[in-house]
Amino acid sequence: MQVRSLQFQAFGAFAELTSIDFDTLTQSRLFLLEGPTGAGKSTVIDAIVFALYGSVAAATGSAQRIRSDFAGPGSETFADLVFEVPGGMFRVRRTPQYERIKKNGAGTTTQQATVKLWRLTEPGWELARRSSGGSDADPAGGGAGSLDHHDLDAAGELLSTRMDEAGLQISRAVGLSREQFVQTIVLPQGEFAAFLRARPEDRTSLLQRVFQTEVYVQAQARLAERRRAVTATVGEARQGMTSAAAAFTRLRSGEAPVPEAPDEPSQVVSEARGQLALALAESQEAEQRAVAARSEELAAQTALREGTVL
């Protein structure tokens, strides 16, 4: 998954509208989130995870920590994320449940959690970037020139506004549940040890999904099955060769059956020669099958080793 752009407001340590252009940051393939404790580094990660899954990254996090303590009474708390996966480009905008000032009258009212999920098109995305000057702006800031996600409202197809439906579609698109995402992509502080303590089979299954190595596991299984089949063929060929050799030995020692009351002595010789030739042919054929089967077995073993290394 590639994060293209993030915008959030009244979220965690950030009271004001903040936009981050990850396309600009990742042009050098590597960037660093740097700052003193409390500067808001974890808030950026929390905003990404919240936009995708509706909760923050840390397992001990709660909905109460999402809305900024510094937010103005009229500021909306939201996280708006544009991300790309092999299945396409998507935009998701979430708001948490929080208490806000009533628009009419005194007191507060509960703002219910919401979600919107869009499928974007690359032309629409690039048009929105050019119209806002996002490609030339400060990649992390909310001033003039930063990409306004409202410009994307007409740049794609609205897929869902339902929590359960949007969550299911996002999980399918990303290919990971929230727990898997934070264990492999994010790994919040203090939770890396939990991943290392997980059962080997759980880590193996998770890493196979993350790095899409199922194809190698399937290839290894097929090669192992082929090896078993070739081994069985070799056994049958060897058994046939042994039987042919035993028949040839009996024939040469005179133990082979001789036709009763032959009319001519030459007939006995002819029958014996025929049986000898047949035994030799069967022996040679069985030996050839054994050699071929052995070659296939060696090839399968080599392919299996290569598949295991991959």
Q: What is the pLDDT of residues 290-302, one digit of tens each?
A: 777 777 777 777 7
pLDDT for the residue numbered 145: 43
Residues 6+ apart with CB under 8 A from 67: 10, 11, 77, 96, 98
Read off the pLDDT of residues 122-142 as tens digits, 9 standing for 90 and up: 777 777 777 666 554 456 655
Residue 224: CB atoms within 10 Å: 15
How would DSSP label each residue in 19-71? Answer: EEEHHHHGGGS------STTSSHHHHHHHHHHHHHSS-SSTT--GGGTB-TT-
What pLDDT was estimated at residue 279? 67
Number of residues that this document lists for the chain: 310
CA–CA distance, 101 with 109 (Å, rounded to integer):
6
With contact defined as beta carbons under 8 Å apart, do 244 and 279 qualify? yes
Per-residue pLDDT, 60: 55
What pLDDT shows up at residue 54? 92
Structure tokens at 85: 């996966």
Query: What does the block give as tokens for 224?
Result: 């192992």
Q: Note the pLDDT tens digit of each residue in 247-281.
A: 767 766 766 554 454 445 555 556 666 666 776 67
DSSP state of 193: H
Cα–Cα distance for residue pair 6/139, rounded to 1 Å: 10
In sequence order, the β-bridge partners of residue 23 are none
- Residuewise pLDDT in 10s, the chain (310 residues): 899 999 999 998 899 999 999 988 888 778 888 888 888 888 999 999 999 999 887 755 555 678 988 888 888 999 999 999 998 999 999 999 988 888 787 888 888 999 999 999 877 777 777 766 655 445 665 543 456 676 676 678 999 999 999 999 999 999 888 888 887 777 655 555 566 677 877 777 766 665 656 677 777 788 888 888 888 887 777 777 777 777 767 766 766 554 454 445 555 556 666 666 776 677 677 777 777 777 777 777 776 666 554 4
Q: Quote the pLDDT of residue 106.
A: 82
Q: 89 has which bridge partners?
A: 84, 120
Instruction: Using DSSP, state whether 131 is helix, strand or coil.
Output: helix
* Residue-level pLDDT at 164: 94
Only one residue has tokens 């727990």, namely: 179
